[in-house]
Amino acid sequence: MAGKFELFKDSRDEYRFRLKAGNGEIILRSEGYTTKAGAENGIDSVKINAPVDARYDRKMSSNGKYYFNLLAANNQVIGTSEMYETAAGRDNGIESVKSNAPTAVIDDLT
């Protein structure tokens, strides 16, 4: 099963997307967008930037968990990962985004 983007509206009436791996696990989440077109542009940006290793900002949270942000060319965050227990887990998450995002279909749940 291939990865997919789910486009949806949240409880604050904002548009968001999440990228799911083929196994259904969420591997990247967006911030909120005021318009559906903005969220769709965000998805396009993920597809373009996902293969570029330099676009991943590898981080550690204050509670010692690992995560990453995917950045656009202008260094804006376009997606954030879940929290991982290890740096290796985070790096596997990055590889999953790299392999799933470029060809992922969009499941419009709006």
The proportion of the chain whose per-residue pLDDT surpasses 90, expressed as a percent, equals 96
Instruction: Report whether pLDDT(1) > 80.
Output: no
Q: pLDDT tens-digit profile of 13-35? A: 999 999 999 899 999 999 999 99
Q: How many Cβ atoms from other residues are within 10 Å of residue 2's Cβ?
A: 11
Q: How confident is the model at residue 49 (pLDDT cuts 50, 70, 90)?
A: very high
Q: pLDDT tens-digit profile of 85-106? A: 999 999 999 999 999 999 999 9
Per-residue DSSP letter, 69:
E
The CA distance from 85 to 64, in Å, is 8
Alpha carbon dihedral 99, 17, 80, 48, in 10-degree steps, equals 50
